[in-house]
């Protein structure tokens, strides 16, 4: 499939990955028409699009609004749809699961239905490694054929969206649908309630870094530009078959796991970031109560993406992490504006699942 200029609808475009993807797309496919849509919910930040505002069409809209989205498709006729729109923060999902079910499950299905009624060239749904649940110690990794086994409200809502994507892939054969499951992303524009920006913004304000429990939870980390590169490769890749055998083997569906096989404990990440900030971990780390039901480990295998589409991660972890830390140091006004709007973003789980933000 060509990467000639076309019209791309990017939903969740004011969030972390969606906004990075808008920048990436404009760089890599010059001349594209980019429609950037977001409903401006809690984690949205319009400033992420400031540098490209005059090169995109920005729309405030909600993927759960069928009529509104269908009208937008009819007006702007997107060729490609990339759905990043989601409620994405695991901590917040424990406190308020309903808003997660609405966007991550119902919104995913609503947008698929709009793409079915107002056909597009390809609809790509962005999902997450977390739908596979927890990986046993010693188990090698998850693949596209692994069963969904969500165990948190966030991943359950994402997995419900996934099930609709799988059902649409197999029921509406005229549609061209792809889905990704990606490892944990890091990079610029990440909302400062997530581990890496939370740490950096705490330290830059002279505050300690909260580490959940023992900090030995294992995560699979990928630079956000590599996720964007994988999405673009999938979007422009050949039209995949959906064979009948996919009914028994989901590995045959157009689902792509995205990872650089980079497994680290949270504590390793904290030590690396503190090192880059020139701080001594023993002085800056504060172990705090863990989130209830926190996944211990997950890791996925990107072999299908590598062998079928030739994708390879381009950003070595150490370089990506250093550039990310530097970006938050250099863009203090960006994150100070968010904190001025939201207040403190760390959660305090000392009162269990009913806890809210520390200090609130």
Ligand X SMILES: NC(=O)c1ccc[n+]([C@@H]2O[C@H](COP(=O)([O-])OP(=O)(O)OC[C@H]3O[C@@H](n4cnc5c(N)ncnc54)[C@H](O)[C@@H]3O)[C@@H](O)[C@H]2O)c1
Which spans of this chain sit near ligand X (rule: CB under 6 A)?
Answer: 11-12, 14-18, 38-41, 43-44, 62-64, 84-88, 103, 107, 126, 128, 158, 182, 184-185, 191
Judged by beta carbon, residue 180 or residue 202, the one nearer ligand X is: 180
Name the packing angle between helices 266-276 and 317-330 (round to 10°): 60
Residue nearest to ligand X (CB): 15
How does DSSP classify residue 39? -
Give me the residues paired with residue 219 across strands: 264
For 231-255, letters b (16+ CB in 10 Å) and e give bbbbbbbeebebeeebeeebebbbb
Backbone angles phi, psi at 98, to 5 degrees: -65, -40
Q: How far apart are CA 153 and CA 12, in angstroms?
A: 20
Minimum distance from CB of 83 to ligand X (Å)? 7
Judged by beta carbon, residue 68 or residue 289, the one nearer ligand X is: 68
Judged by beta carbon, residue 134 or residue 284, the one nearer ligand X is: 134
Judged by beta carbon, residue 22 or residue 284, the one nearer ligand X is: 22
Minimum distance from CB of 350 to ligand X (Å)? 25
Minimum distance from CB of 174 to ligand X (Å)? 25
Minimum distance from CB of 349 to ligand X (Å)? 20
Q: How far apart are CA 253 and CA 114, in angstroms?
A: 21
The encoded tokens of residue 285 equal: 């780390």
Judged by beta carbon, residue 32 or residue 127, the one nearer ligand X is: 127
Judged by beta carbon, residue 72 or residue 182, the one nearer ligand X is: 182
Minimum distance from CB of 198 to ligand X (Å)? 13
Minimum distance from CB of 62 to ligand X (Å)? 4
Judged by beta carbon, residue 284 or residue 324, the one nearer ligand X is: 324
Query: Count of CB atoms within 10 A of residue 322's CB?
Result: 15
* CA distances to 40, 113, 208, 284, 344 from 281, in Å: 36, 49, 10, 5, 22
The encoded tokens of residue 27 equal: 């760089």
Minimum distance from CB of 208 to ligand X (Å)? 23
Strands (E), 169-239: 177-182, 184-186, 209-212, 218-223
Q: How far apart are CA 257 and CA 132, in angstroms?
A: 11
Minimum distance from CB of 248 to ligand X (Å)? 26
3-state secondary structure of 264: strand
Judged by beta carbon, residue 14 or residue 274, the one nearer ligand X is: 14
Q: How far apart are CA 250 and CA 238, in angstroms?
A: 19
């Amino acid at each position: 499939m060509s990467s000639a200029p076309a019209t791309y609808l990017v939903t969740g475009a004011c969030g972390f990955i969606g906004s990075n993807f808008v920048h990436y797309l404009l760089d890599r496919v010059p001349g594209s028409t980019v429609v950037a849509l977001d409903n401006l919910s809690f984690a949205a930040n319009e400033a992420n699009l400031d540098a490209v505002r005059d090169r995109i069409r920005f729309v405030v809209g909600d993927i759960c609004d069928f009529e509104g989205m269908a009208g937008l498709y009819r007006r702007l006729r997107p060729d490609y749809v990339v759905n990043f729109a989601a409620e994405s923060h695991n901590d917040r999902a424990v406190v308020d699961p309903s808003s997660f079910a609405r966007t991550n499950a119902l919104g995913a299905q609503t947008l698929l239905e709009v793409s079915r009624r107002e056909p597009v060239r390809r609809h790509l749904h962005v999902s997450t490694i977390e739908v596979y649940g927890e990986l046993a110690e010693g188990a090698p990794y998850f693949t596209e054929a692994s069963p969904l086994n969500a165990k948190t409200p966030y991943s359950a809502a994402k997995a419900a969206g996934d099930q609709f994507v799988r059902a649409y892939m197999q029921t509406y054969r005229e549609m061209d649908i792809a889905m990704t499951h990606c490892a944990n992303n890091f990079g610029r524009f990440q909302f400062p309630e997530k581990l890496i920006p939370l740490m950096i913004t705490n330290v830059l304000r002279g505050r300690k870094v909260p580490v959940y429990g023992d900090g030995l939870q294992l995560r699979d980390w990928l630079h956000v530009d590599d996720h964007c590169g994988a999405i673009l490769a999938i979007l422009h890749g050949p039209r995949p078959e959906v064979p009948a055998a996919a009914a028994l083997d989901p590995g045959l569906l157009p689902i792509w796991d995205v990872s650089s096989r980079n497994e680290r404990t949270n504590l390793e990440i904290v030590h690396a970031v503190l090192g880059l900030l020139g701080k001594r971990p023993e002085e800056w780390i504060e172990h705090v109560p863990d989130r209830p039901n926190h996944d211990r480990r997950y890791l996925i295998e990107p072999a299908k993406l590598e062998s079928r589409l030739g994708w390879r991660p381009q950003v070595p972890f150490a370089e990506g992490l250093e550039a990310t830390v530097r970006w938050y140091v250099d863009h203090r006004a960006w994150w100070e504006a968010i904190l001025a709007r939201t207040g403190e973003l760390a959660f305090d789980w000392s009162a269990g699942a009913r806890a809210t933000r520390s200090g609130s």
